[in-house]
């Protein structure tokens, strides 16, 4: 075991999640590289110091450049707003420091393309944080599909639906401003990443999105409340995705239904310890969707619990990300998802927005 | 109670269902008009006679004109292939005989328009058979939405998915020939009817459909295996529908998710005695989707079972249709869905097919 | 097809259910014996005549002896209060007329023993109506267990829970008087019958029951609100059953969980079109309870619906009973459950009540 | 923040779980007392050193007395076999060191009584680890019941069912020897603790338990495979519990159904992020069990995830225990469950075993 000194940029929700993960990953996984919480950066000296004490870092700063350049910081975790993802990543990569960047990667498709270029030029570990995909359930789905266990995929339906803006009286905030914080910017990346990981590249899209509640107490809303997209995958499958922050009653509706010629898979993150599998085999009278509870037999499960049925929580996925980032650094081998994967997600979003803006629909009155 | 003499055209699955319903409806509902199974028509004298004996009709014929014109036949149920829906309906309506017609109504949008014209000119009872919508669950959903209980509708997602052609080795048959027997012709009408009934008129669509398995043992496939559509409703709601006969594992996936500003409703016909309701009210800690078991408190439930929880079956919906058709005849008042409602469904399908054929998509390679 | 003339005693809920079933069974099943609704008996001439007209019988009477002796009544269905089950059955059997008797059979264990003796002496068809067991789901469970598909049974847990008396303010009625109308008399028979049918004979019991709400608006309560029993089956399995009319929220909680050495089965009548099966085979990662939707591949399903997923309702089970009763008459072969099966159920109840009355418990203060 | 130096006895599954929890609790909760992983004890010097390195302790030992007496160990976590719980606890308490002891507490009811006496004499923090009860779901259930939200409790049904010994070919091991490792010793404590916490004291029991598979590859089985108990609570409620390690298909069947006069609650740890609540209020047509997803509005949820729907895992419960133990030390106030609560659980088990051994059953042949 040798020590690796971690610098985290951003002390908010994701900053805390990654700090806790880096604290715990060593004991949980008996990793080769043991992280040390070296330095945390936040927007003011006071908040940075507060986070330092709360999360157990050695030092703090309010200047990201200071953190990136610090000779005792070996690797970087970016949990800041997207506007400075690119600058931070380019600076760190130029110094040969591995970078883990929270999704969505960069403030624009150009930013993310530049980040890919910098990462690939540097040759060091680069990784994007799409944490939901890391449940044992979704990793199992990915493996089953890749192994052909449900045959050729014919249909993918995904959604990422929540209801934190379902009430028209919920006040405007930073969340209701800027494309990056709307559903196409904030929620879509997770499910598009899942679609690409589970089914493969997307070739064509046709989308639609809108702001349902155009003003809220405290201000106007300048980004979208929900959006949808029909798509075609390179392997021929047809698909549909829906993203919403106004899906009343949905708390973590990160869900997909997948049909193949030999079976089907269904998942909903609201019951993240289960995955549903149907196999079109055996006698007809015994066929049905199986509710499989994830356990030691599934990918990325064992280290947490030696017994089955113990359940995985959100923080567990963040610890898995920490483990994988450390592995990427240790071995030098790329670990999915790399910056390039993050860029592919952004590309699908850009195409969807463009197709929606083109406004081509068929009027029912013509029939 | 006075007797009404029923003539049924078609002795197959739906002909049997309506025969059983007409046998039972009097005892179940204590109807004012009591049906008598007067005459059944099938494609040959032998099959007509066999159905007559099996279902308890008084007479049989293999000529639909004979049945329609028979002076002792008071009302007509059409359960034949769609090609002759229009001829039968026009002939019966010209004689002033009420007509119940199985969905989808007519072989083309022109046929269904002509049937509406004939029905409205005649002034007699005319009704279309979209049986799935008649569960107490879906009737309750319709009432709740109409009463504004879940607020303004923002999103409708519907599907009608089954898997009877999921296996590529299932042989070609009459079902794999002709648009009327594909998913857009056979399954889509049910869910489009539900969408219109629950949410209201559709104004714009953008669709996509395809034949996944282009040949099967025994021949080529000339109609679609699955299709999807994004849509916009007149009340502003956004929507999506999907129809499939290759949805591996789905047996009766007639399902919808509806979001409103004050609540949400979810339903899946695979558990047709339950409906899920979410209300965005009360304290946060107690909110959740309620699984409501349909019972005496719900529309169209009581007559069958005086106690709660007894469950409704498919045949029960057909009996409800029989009751409603008898009521329409008895009172002269139109009973939903009329021929006009059937026509509206066909119109949405025609627009969807046209939009899909226009082939406008956005290529991901441009981004 | 030859006609059989049916006399039904009782015009209330079950009388209506059996009348509708006898109207429909011919068209549904194309039975060899076709029932004719000959005569109905109710407590007064007026009510009898009203039921006659409503259900479509030819004649009515208010004297059960008149109906039983009528030479144009071939077979008898008893849907009266239990006090006169025995008299009616003995009279009919003495005339060689087949008898179908609603559960629970007879007003006492002695009555039911006498009914078994009369039935076995007569040699004619005799059958008891435990309708819930007749879903395709429960028939499939029975077949799977009998075939050894889930191995040796180690555990059976059953419940029949409803909530029609959960509210202490629900007034006293005939249902709150007399052991026959309490949970041990009214609900327990269904689940005990299921246990005997699924697992086999019970050898030992230890029970407990009580009246929770001892008085209600309108009077005192003289029968039990809920009861439970631990038991041992002849095949060695351990078991537990619970019966309640105060199980708040439960509408038709006729449910069982069964563990075997090779698998498990779970069922809840609140979703009566599904049954859950677990098989301890195949690779660990794919094991899970399968939600099997009942369809054409399951026992007693096909006749109703040629397509899968259509759902079975309560009335469908009553029609299946009518079919089986007609078959028993036609073939002369006994059809499960016979009067003897009804007697076995009563025996288990009697033993449970006796064990509960003995009051042997272990006091926790001694430890 | 001041530091508290933790000594953990036992490096196996629970030892690791508590080590990880103590690593993470500071960053997660920003606790007043910050734990330092001072010393770990395991059965040999080699294993102790291995655990030390893996989990991040400062020192290791293979002698529990060394750890307990060490002046730089401030508080003790016992995760050893039960045989030495008492000795360790008495030694530590005598030195005034707070003790957290894994369940079940002590090897016998006498041991646990002695541990209570020692703890109460010492006046320092003492706590037992029944981790499953600490989900936000179960804490919410406890609060709802205590607040009278579902009225007077009439029925409690609990089970703790798993299937790790369902296969008769699974070899004998330490788990199949000794009452402490059978279902009554190992699984029953969790659900009995839940029953006491949710409903209150138990006054009477009547139990039954058995070894189904008396020998297994590798040896004879000397403890029980499953057991059940009927019980009566001090508040009048009736109850039943079942414990099994042969419940084929169950992975974490820690589940309960509770009926009250005004509502009902259902929970199953296999879907630990949801709890089902029924309220007998509002209009009948809208009543149903609500599936409530636990989130920030529920007890013990917020600290982990600021957003709803993120899901809680097993390790999260262990961290909550760590937080509560630190709080008990910091404030000096007792934190549930104390040693006394652990003793009450053991008392119910002892009474259940005694009642089962008395063998009083009613023979069905007498009826």
> Does C366 reside within a domain?
no
Cβ contact (<8 Å) for C362 and D347?
A: no
Provide the pLDDT for residue C307. 58
Q: Point out the least confidently predicted range of A289-303, B38-52, C299-313, D335-349.
A: C299-313
pTM of the model as a whole: 0.96
Q: Residue A276: its chain C contacts at CB < 8 A?
A: 288
Cβ contact (<8 Å) for B274 and C269?
A: no
A104 upstream amide cis, omega within 30 of 0 = yes
Please check whether residues B111 and B160 belong to one and the same domain: no
Please check whether residues A72 and A193 belong to one and the same domain: no
Domain boundary among B131, B151, B178: B131
Please check whether residues D38 and D105 belong to one and the same domain: yes
pLDDT in tens, C22-76: 988 988 888 889 999 999 999 999 999 999 999 999 999 999 999 999 999 999 9
Provide the pLDDT for residue D105. 93
Q: Point out the least confidently predicted range of B16-30, D28-42, D226-240, D353-367.
A: D353-367
pLDDT in tens, B270-296: 999 999 999 999 999 999 999 999 988
b (16+ CB within 10 A) / e for A329-351: beeeebbebbbbbbbbbbbbbbb
Question: What is the residue-level pLDDT of chain A in tens, covering all 367 positions?
Answer: 689 999 999 998 899 999 999 988 988 888 889 999 999 999 999 999 999 999 999 999 999 999 999 999 999 999 999 999 999 999 999 999 999 999 999 999 999 999 999 999 999 999 999 999 999 999 999 999 999 999 999 999 999 999 999 999 999 999 999 988 999 999 999 999 999 999 999 999 999 999 999 999 999 999 999 999 999 999 999 999 999 999 999 999 999 999 999 999 999 999 999 999 999 999 999 999 999 999 889 988 755 555 567 778 888 889 999 999 999 999 988 899 999 999 999 999 999 999 988 877 777 777 7
Integer-rounded Cα radius of gyration of chain D: 21
Please check whether residues A150 and A245 belong to one and the same domain: yes
- Residue D65 pLDDT greater than 60, yes or no: yes
Q: Residue C276: its chain A contacts at CB < 8 A?
A: 288
Chain C contacts to B (CB-CB under 8 A)? 1, 13, 16, 19-20, 23-24, 26-28, 30, 34, 53-56, 162, 164, 251-252, 269-274, 293, 295, 304-316
The minimal CB distance from C287 to the residues A284, A288, A292 is found for A292
Q: List the one residue out of D321, D337, D345 whose CA is nearest residue D119.
A: D337
Torsion of CA C7, C12, C14, C19, to 10 degrees: 40
> Does A208 reside within a domain?
yes
Across the range B151-156, mean pLDDT stands at 98
* Strand partners of residue C239: C156, C231
Q: Answer yes or no: are the C-beta atoms of A279 and D337 closer than 8 Å.
A: no
Cβ contact (<8 Å) for B309 and C164?
A: no
b (16+ CB within 10 A) / e for D217-226: eeeebebbbb
Q: Answer yes or no: are the C-beta atoms of A132 and A317 closer than 8 Å.
A: yes
Q: Residue A10: its chain D contacts at CB < 8 A?
A: none
Chain B contacts to D (CB-CB under 8 A)? 140, 274, 277, 279, 283-293, 295, 297-298
Joined together, the tokens standing for residue B13 give 């699955």
Q: Estimate to the nearest angstrom the gap between the alpha carbon of D170 and the chain centroid.
A: 25
> Does A318 reside within a domain?
no
Please check whether residues D197 and D99 belong to one and the same domain: no
Joined together, the tokens standing for residue A194 give 């899942």
- Residue C303 pLDDT greater than 70, yes or no: no
Q: List the one residue out of C191, C175, C253, C246 whose CA is nearest residue C13.
A: C175
> Does C263 reside within a domain?
yes
CA distance C361 to chain B (A): 35
CA gap B94, A350 in Å, rounded: 58
CA distance B172 to chain A (A): 16
CA distance D123 to chain C (A): 25
Q: Residue A16: its chain D contacts at CB < 8 A?
A: 27
Q: Residue C286: its chain A contacts at CB < 8 A?
A: 277, 279, 290, 292
Provide the pLDDT for residue A301. 74
CA distance B352 to chain A (A): 8
> Does C319 reside within a domain?
no
- Residue C166 pLDDT greater than 80, yes or no: yes
Q: List the one residue out of B90, A74, D157 whose CA is nearest residue C250.
A: D157
Closest-CA residue in chain A for B164?
A280
Please check whether residues B352 and B217 belong to one and the same domain: yes
Joined together, the tokens standing for residue B58 give 């008084």
Cβ contact (<8 Å) for C269 and B307?
A: no
* Strand partners of residue C279: C263
Q: Residue A206: its chain B contacts at CB < 8 A?
A: 206, 208, 230, 360-362
> Does A319 reside within a domain?
no
Please check whether residues B268 and B300 belong to one and the same domain: yes
Please check whether residues C256 and C179 belong to one and the same domain: yes
Cα dist from C12 to A15, B177, C8, whole Å: 68, 50, 11
> Does A334 reside within a domain?
no
* Strand partners of residue D255: D159, D268
Interface test with D, best of C184, C199, C241, C248 (most D CBs within 10 A): C248
In a 13 Å sphere around the CA of A192, the CA atoms on its Cβ side amount to 32
Q: Answer yes or no: are the C-beta atoms of B11 and C306 closer than 8 Å.
A: no
| Chain C adjacent subunits, 3+ CB pairs under 8 A | A, B, D
CA gap D13, D320 in Å, rounded: 17
Joined together, the tokens standing for residue C224 give 């039990």
Q: Residue C208: its chain D contacts at CB < 8 A?
A: 206, 230, 238
Interface test with C, best of D259, D291, D344, D347 (most C CBs within 10 A): D259
Cβ contact (<8 Å) for B316 and C313?
A: yes
Q: Residue B201: its chain A contacts at CB < 8 A?
A: 364
CA gap A227, A223 in Å, rounded: 11
Is residue D303 within a helix (H) or strand (E), and if so which, with residue range?
A: none
Q: Residue D284: its chain B contacts at CB < 8 A?
A: 295, 297
CA distance B241 to chain C (A): 20
Please check whether residues C184 and C221 belong to one and the same domain: yes
Number of H helices, E strands in chain D: 10, 17
Confidence band (pLDDT; 50, 70, 90) for D30?
Answer: confident
The minimal CB distance from B24 to the residues C20, C274, C310 is found for C20
B104 upstream amide cis, omega within 30 of 0 = yes
Q: List the one residue out of C128, C120, C41 whose CA is nearest residue C341.
A: C128
Q: List the one residue out of A141, A130, A129, A191 whose CA is nearest residue A299.
A: A141
pLDDT in tens, B26-68: 888 888 899 999 999 999 999 999 999 999 999 999 999 999 9
- Residue B188 pLDDT greater than 90, yes or no: yes
Closest-CA residue in chain A for C292?
A288
CA distance D8 to chain A (A): 14
Please check whether residues C111 and C180 belong to one and the same domain: no
Q: How many residues does chain D have?
A: 367
Q: Answer yes or no: are the C-beta atoms of B304 and C21 closer than 8 Å.
A: no
The minimal CB distance from C309 to the residues B28, B252, B316 is found for B252
Cβ contact (<8 Å) for B283 and D297?
A: yes
CA distance B270 to chain C (A): 7
Provide the pLDDT for residue C308. 62
Chain A contacts to C (CB-CB under 8 A)? 140, 274, 276-277, 279, 283-293, 295, 297-298
Confidence band (pLDDT; 50, 70, 90) for C300?
Answer: confident
| Chain A adjacent subunits, 3+ CB pairs under 8 A | B, C, D
Cβ contact (<8 Å) for C270 and B251?
A: no
Task: Name the DSSP letter for residue C171.
Answer: P
Q: Residue B206: its chain A contacts at CB < 8 A?
A: 206, 208, 230, 360-362
Provide the pLDDT for residue D9. 98
CA distance C101 to chain A (A): 32
Please check whether residues C48 and C8 belong to one and the same domain: yes
Domain boundary among A131, A165, A190: A131
Domain boundary among B131, B147, B165: B131
Cβ contact (<8 Å) for A247 and B354?
A: no
- Residue B349 pLDDT greater than 90, yes or no: yes
Joined together, the tokens standing for residue C68 give 């039983």
What secondary structure, in 3-state letters, does A56-122 show?
A: CCCEEECCHHHHHHCCCCCEEEECCCHHHHHHHHHHHHHCCCCEEEECCCCCCHHHHHHHHHHHHHH
CATH code of the domain containing D154: 3.30.360.10
Query: What's the domain count of chain A?
Result: 2
Q: Is B366 exposed, middle or buried (0-12, 13-18, 19+ CB in 10 A)?
A: exposed
The minimal CB distance from A230 to the residues B201, B202, B208 is found for B208
> Does D94 reside within a domain?
yes
CATH code of the domain containing B90: 3.40.50.720
Torsion of CA C134, C135, C137, C141, to 10 degrees: -10
Residue identified by tokens 């080769």 is A32
Closest-CA residue in chain C for D234?
C364
| Chain B adjacent subunits, 3+ CB pairs under 8 A | A, C, D
Please check whether residues B66 and B169 belong to one and the same domain: no
Closest-CA residue in chain C for A282?
C282
pLDDT in tens, C128-147: 999 999 999 999 999 999 99
Task: Name the DSSP letter for residue B294.
Answer: P
The minimal CB distance from C24 to the residues B23, B307, B310 is found for B23
Domain residues for the domain of B258 are 133-313+345-358
Q: Point out the least confidently predicted range of B226-235, B244-253, C305-314, D284-293.
A: C305-314
Q: Residue C263: its chain D contacts at CB < 8 A?
A: 248-249
Interface test with B, best of C314, C316, C322 (most B CBs within 10 A): C314
Question: Who wins on pLDDT, D62 or A2?
Answer: D62
Chain C contacts to A (CB-CB under 8 A)? 140, 274, 276-277, 279, 283-293, 295, 297-298
- Residue D323 pLDDT greater than 90, yes or no: yes
Would you call B14 helix, strand, or coil by DSSP? helix
| Alpha helices per DSSP H over chain D | 13-29, 45-55, 64-69, 85-94, 109-122, 136-146, 183-186, 188-198, 314-331, 339-358
Q: Point out the least confidently predicted range of A287-301, B246-260, D239-253.
A: A287-301
Q: What are phi and psi of A257, to 5 degrees?
A: -125, 130
């Amino acid at each position: 075991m040798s020590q690796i000194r971690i610098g985290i940029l951003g002390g908010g929700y994701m900053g805390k999640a990654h700090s806790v993960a880096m604290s715990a990953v060593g004991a949980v996984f008996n990793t080769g590289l043991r992280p040390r919480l070296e330095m945390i950066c936040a927007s003011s000296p006071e908040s940075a110091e507060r986070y330092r004490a709360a999360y157990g870092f050695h030092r703090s700063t309010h200047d990201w450049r200071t953190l990136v350049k610090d000779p005792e910081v070996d690797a970087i975790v970016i949990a800041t707003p997207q506007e400075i993802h690119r600058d931070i990543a380019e600076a760190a990569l130029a110094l040969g420091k591995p970078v883990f960047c929270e999704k969505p990667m960069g403030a624009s498709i150009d930013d993310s393309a530049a980040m890919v270029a910098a990462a690939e030029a540097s040759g060091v570990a680069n990784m994007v944080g799409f944490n939901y995909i890391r449940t044992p359930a979704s990793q199992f789905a990915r493996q089953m599909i890749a192994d052909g266990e449900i045959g050729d995929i014919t249909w993918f339906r995904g959604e990422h639906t929540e209801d934190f803006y379902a009430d028209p009286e919920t006040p405007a905030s930073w969340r209701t401003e800027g494309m990056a914080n709307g559903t196409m910017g904030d929620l879509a990346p997770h499910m598009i990443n899942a679609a690409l990981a589970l089914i493969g590249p997307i070739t064509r899209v046709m989308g639609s999105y809108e702001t349902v509640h155009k003003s809220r107490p405290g201000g106007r809303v300048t980004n979208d409340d929900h959006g949808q997209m029909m798509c075609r995958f390179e392997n021929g499958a047809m698909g549909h995705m829906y993203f919403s922050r106004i899906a009343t009653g949905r708390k973590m509706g990160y869900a997909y239904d997948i049909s193949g010629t030999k079976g089907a898979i269904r998942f909903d993150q609201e019951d993240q310890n289960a995955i549903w599998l149907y196999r079109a085999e055996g006698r007809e009278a015994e066929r049905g969707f199986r509710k499989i509870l994830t356990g030691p037999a599934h990918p990325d499960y064992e280290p947490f619990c030696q017994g089955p049925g113990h359940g995985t929580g959100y923080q567990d996925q963040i610890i898995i990300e920490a483990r994988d980032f450390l592995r990427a650094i240790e071995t030098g081998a790329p670990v999915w998802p790399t910056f390039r994967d993050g860029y592919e997600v952004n590309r699908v979003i850009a195409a969807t927005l463009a197709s929606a803006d083109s406004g081509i629909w068929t009027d029912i009155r013509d029939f």
